[in-house]
Amino acid sequence: MRRRAFSTFLGGAAAATTAWSSVLSAQQKAIPVIAFLNSGAADAGASKALMTLTEAGLREIGLVQGRDYVFETAWANSDSSRFPALAAQLLARNPAAVVVSTILAVKAVQALSRTVPIVMTGMNDPVAAGLVASLARPGGNITGVSTMAEDVLLKLIGLMREALPDVRSLTVMTNPTNPSNPPMVDMLKRHVASQGLSIATIGVGAPADLDAAFAEMARQRPGALFVLTDNSLQALAEPINTRALAQRVPAFANLGDTFARAGGLFDYSRDPEEAFQSVARLLKKILGGAATADLAIEQPTTFKLYVNMKTAKALGLTIPPSILDRADEVIA
């Protein structure tokens, strides 16, 4: 009887242990996955900033990684042809949301799911791109933050003319795979048509295109390089600026402080902390059960000007005090 009782006790204890392990396992599996379909390489400055700022934004509103969510990342290394396979890889994890930074990344996820929430970290005119019905009521499974690049680009041209008044030719770098870039080029050409400034273009759709693009720029002999708003190009800030400086061509962009820190003469863009606080708020709402279709796309309200004086000195340029006085940060 005692043996039977003891055996029964052991059996019950084992069953309880198994049940408790199952509970713990279920709890671990229940932690929501936030997936990132990222444009650049994991070790790029812009990529590191994206992950750091997102986690910081979530932490500010009370969400802790490992307890309230886990990150799952995939990196396209600035090659958009990798998006479909990477999207499938991420969706296999059944994420609570997928965070993206480019139009083609959105389309890669949507090709596989029209229900998994998609959060854009910074999208060029998502209405014109046909991604959402409106900023206020996006509909479907997309929300996020816009860049307002269409407005900022014209201000950048003004800054360039103020800093480099003698420039008569400008090379604009585009990402040929980004459908929002051609309308931007057309807008810039219309804007400068009467200002005595000519525009030529070069395209970089992947890192392998850099050498040919800069060989073409060497033939164009521009007074400045304008890198259009694109997250794949943002992730290539270091090699772009290295090559531009080798040709002694000042570069400017609307890509964030990482572009200026990588050697760009100046950058004028949205405040990255504000942008990723918006991303974090939207993710928290989605994790809480909010419908993506009802979450308005947020727009930046704060913009920052970064000036790299180290680059200016290397190129023998004098930056007007009027620009330095307006700079939010001067990189020495």
Q: Are 132 and 138 in contact (CB under 8 A)?
A: yes
Structure tokens at 16: 């309880």
What order of strands is seen across the sheet that includes strand 198-203? 198-203, 169-174, 224-227, 251-253, 266-270, 303-308, 329-331
Q: Do domains 29-147+271-301 and 149-270+304-331 have the same CATH topology?
A: yes
Residue matched to tokens 């402080």? 257
Question: What pLDDT score does 125 carry?
Answer: 86
Question: What pLDDT score does 69 carry?
Answer: 97
pLDDT in tens, 12-62: 544 444 544 444 444 455 899 999 999 999 999 889 999 999 999 999 999
Question: What pLDDT score does 29 carry?
Answer: 56
107-145 exposure pattern, b = at least 16 Cβ within 10 A, e = fewer: bbbbeeeeebbbbbbbbbbbeebebbeeeeebeebbbbb
pLDDT in tens, 220-257: 999 999 999 999 999 999 999 999 999 999 999 999 99
pLDDT at 215 over 80: yes
The one-letter amino acid at 139: G
Question: What pLDDT score does 10 carry?
Answer: 46
The H or E element containing residue 297 is none
pTM confidence score: 0.84
Using pLDDT thresholds of 50, 70 and 90, give the confidence band for residue 67: very high
Concatenate the DSSP letters of all residues of 143-184 into one string: EEEE--HHHHHHHHHHHHHHH-TT--EEEEEE-TT-TTHHHH
Number of H helices, E strands in the chain: 13, 12
> Which CATH superfamily, name and number, covers 149-270+304-331?
Response regulator (3.40.50.2300)
Q: Where do the domains of the chain lie? A: 29-147+271-301, 149-270+304-331
Counting other chains too, the contacts that 243-247 makes at CB distance below 8 Å and 24 or more residues apart are 243/210, 243/214, 244/214, 244/217, 245/311, 245/314, 245/315, 247/214, 247/217, 247/218
Q: Which of 230, 206, 256, 237 shows the shortest CA–CA distance to 50?
A: 256
| More confidently predicted of 122 and 86 | 86
pLDDT at 6 over 90: no
What is the rounded end-to-end Cα distance, in angstroms, of the chain? 84
Side-chain-side CA neighbours of 60 within 13 Å: the count stands at 15
CATH number of 29-147+271-301: 3.40.50.2300
Where residue 37 falls (left for φ over 0; alpha for ψ -120 to 50; beta otherwise) is beta
* CA separation for the pair 262, 298 (Å, rounded): 28
Question: What pLDDT score does 133 carry?
Answer: 87
